[in-house]
Amino acid sequence: MLGATAVAAATAVPAAGAAGADASFLVLAPDGGSTAAAAAAVAAAGGTVVAAYDQIGVLVARSANPDFARDAAVPGVEAVAATTGLGTALDEGQTLAEVGSAVQAATGDPTGEPLFGQQWDMPQIEVPQAHAVTTGDPNVVVGVLDSGISSSHPDLASQIAKDKSASCLGGVADTSEAAWNPTTSDHGTHVAGTIAAAINGVGVAGVAPGVKVAAVKVVNDAGFIYPEAAVCGFMWAAEHGMQVTNNSYYIDPWEFNCRNDARQRPVWQAVQRAIRYSQSQGVLNVASAGNSNIDLAHTAVDSGSPNDGSGPVEDRTVTAACLDLPAEAPGVLTVSAVGPTEQKSYYSSYGLGVVDVTAPGGDTRFRTQGARSTLTDAILSTTFNTTTKTNGWGYKQGTSMSGPHAAGVAALALSAHPGLRPGQLAALLERTANPLTCPAGVYNPVPLLDGYEATCSGGQRTSFYGAGNVNAYDVVR
């Protein structure tokens, strides 16, 4: 668990005023200042501090006081926001198909794994060549901020740093193994396999099978990611020696979090503080660009939010005051997706100056111009059937799948070049990426589907691909 300075539980306090539904709140003290006044304000307003992240001046509180946000907004408190309705549904990257695996003698070579022939993504970024140099250092730990990792999966059981794994649901770390295992989603299990599936004669090979992954569960059983869980996740990674985190989600039911919105601004501030603190502790945070085919660098119309049922979906103009978190937070390595031909996946969001690199995420529609799916053009990795509670392997696609390729490459880079700081590590991935040029004119690999036109911009760095496709071999040489 986190130290006493990071997480503290307060004694329950009777709610003030008329009783309402118990709700969670983010309470922010001035950045860099003490949280004592904020904690006192929580108690006076009829709330309970359930987690105190003193390093960044953020408290997670619960209260049934319907006026808590108003009552707690006193001197010494910078902002208060209820997180009810601020959960976003995880973009599942739905399992498109499941496959079985033979069991054979491990060769120590990723190409010898039974299902490696179906992993077109690994040769694309030169994983076999990289493994001739290193498969990764077990002292390197990648935090998978996601829906949990199946600790019984034969490709992952040996790969999980159990002593660094926790559930962060509710904003409070729970280190029990049951808490950080998947319950209703195998998204995190799929992500973990791409990063570090073992070379053991069964299933698939990960980008960095020599490193460890830690399950940091931030997705609840309903499939939502609340900001207090994300804050806890970043802080947990920072305090437990993780050098890389993978973040295949966005925070808030609004795909873009607007700091000029009174309710959303505290979320933006709290998440930014947690990310900044984790970076100061040596963590490179890798985030997926998103699957909305949106140009993140320009004003756009968001027509898909809120997505959690908290209100009617509406068209909303997204300006420079609105960010896709964590993908657009400063210092985060943001990853778009390509398919088997190294062209932008039809669904991948993009943006000049936002996307840093690209990586394989799958594209099941380009071969048929959108008419039907070619499942084997998605990403094959580890799965967990949450109904039957059985482990397996299956295909998913999305920038949720491209992010862990970049995180795995970052882990290999740290293994070959220990001591790199987050900025240096990100720069190495960008410098060694395989440059990709913009397609001419309006790009649309799926003309039989509506809404997927996009125009690429840039020169050496492009809006579609950033510095280019990550390269596992070039970061370890």
Residue 5 lies in a domain: no
Residue 225 lies in a domain: yes
My answer on whether 50 and 115 are in the same domain is no
For the CA atoms of 146, 291, 302, 328, what is the dihedral angle to 10 degrees?
60
Residue with the two structure tokens 């399950």: 215
Helices (H) and strands (E) in the chain, counts: 11, 22
Percent of the chain past pLDDT 90, that is, above it, reads 74
My answer on whether 168 and 47 are in the same domain is no
Question: How far is the C-alpha of 149 from the C-alpha of 317, rounded, in Å?
Answer: 37
b or e along 80-112 (b: 16 or more beta carbons within 10 Å of the residue's beta carbon)? bbbbebbbbbbbbbebbeebebeeeeeeeebee
Residue-level pLDDT at 428: 98
Inter-residue contact 239 to 169 (CB < 8 Å): no
> Could you tell me the two tokens for 314?
């509406």
Active site residue 187: yes
Beta bridge partners of 381: 394
Catalytic-labelled residue, pool 54, 121, 146, 356 = 146
Residue-level pLDDT at 10: 26
- Taking only the tens place, the pLDDT of each residue in 372-401 is 999 999 999 999 999 999 999 999 999 999
Inter-residue contact 80 to 265 (CB < 8 Å): no
Active site residue 349: no
Residue-level pLDDT at 18: 36
Inter-residue contact 174 to 166 (CB < 8 Å): yes
CATH of the domain at 63: 3.30.70
Nearest alpha-carbon partner for 250 in 357, 326, 170, 144: 326
My answer on whether 27 and 150 are in the same domain is no
- CB 368: neighbour CB atoms within 10 A? 13
Which residues form the domain of 41?
A: 23-82
My answer on whether 101 and 71 are in the same domain is no
Residue 300 lies in a domain: yes
Catalytic-labelled residue, pool 167, 348, 400, 463 = 400
My answer on whether 188 and 49 are in the same domain is no
Inter-residue contact 407 to 195 (CB < 8 Å): yes
Amino acid at 401: M
CATH of the domain at 106: 3.40.50.200
- The stretches in the chain having pLDDT less than 70 are 1-20, 85-97, 102-107, 250-257, 259-260, 299-321
The residue from 38, 53, 82 where one domain ends is 82
Question: How far is the C-alpha of 169 from the C-alpha of 176, rounded, in Å?
Answer: 12
- Taking only the tens place, the pLDDT of each residue in 13-29 is 223 333 457 899 999 99
SS3 content of the chain, % helix, strand, coil (to 5): 25, 25, 55
Residue-level pLDDT at 304: 58
My answer on whether 230 and 105 are in the same domain is yes
b or e along 150-189 (b: 16 or more beta carbons within 10 Å of the residue's beta carbon)? bbebbbbeebbbeebbbbbbbbbbeeeeebbbbbebbbbb
The residue from 82, 106, 132 where one domain ends is 82
Residue 8 lies in a domain: no
Question: How far is the C-alpha of 232 from the C-alpha of 434, rounded, in Å?
Answer: 35
Residue-level pLDDT at 90: 54
Residue 67 lies in a domain: yes
Catalytic-labelled residue, pool 131, 153, 185, 187 = 187
My answer on whether 148 and 73 are in the same domain is no
My answer on whether 243 and 388 are in the same domain is yes
Say if residue 435 is preceded by a cis peptide, omega within 30 of 0.
Answer: no
Question: How far is the C-alpha of 247 from the C-alpha of 252, rounded, in Å?
Answer: 14
Residue 47 lies in a domain: yes
Inter-residue contact 333 to 356 (CB < 8 Å): yes
b or e along 391-426 (b: 16 or more beta carbons within 10 Å of the residue's beta carbon)? bbbbbbbbbbbbbbbbbbbbbbbbbbeeebebeebb
My answer on whether 50 and 128 are in the same domain is no
Active site residue 158: no
Say if residue 306 is preceded by a cis peptide, omega within 30 of 0.
Answer: yes
Q: Look at strands 97-99 and 212-217 and give their pairing.
A: unpaired
b or e along 327-364 (b: 16 or more beta carbons within 10 Å of the residue's beta carbon)? bbbebbbbbbbbbbeebbbbbbbbbbebbbbbbbbbbb
The pTM assigned to this predicted structure is 0.89
Residue 88 lies in a domain: no
At residue 127's C-alpha, the angle toward residues 409 and 411, to 5°, is 20
My answer on whether 125 and 154 are in the same domain is yes
My answer on whether 165 and 230 are in the same domain is yes
- Taking only the tens place, the pLDDT of each residue in 258-310 is 766 777 788 888 999 999 999 999 999 999 999 989 999 886 666 655 655 55
Residue 4 lies in a domain: no
User: DSSP secondary-structure letter at 297?
Assistant: T
Give SS3 for 301. strand
The residue from 38, 56, 82 where one domain ends is 82
Total domains present in the chain = 2
My answer on whether 123 and 72 are in the same domain is no
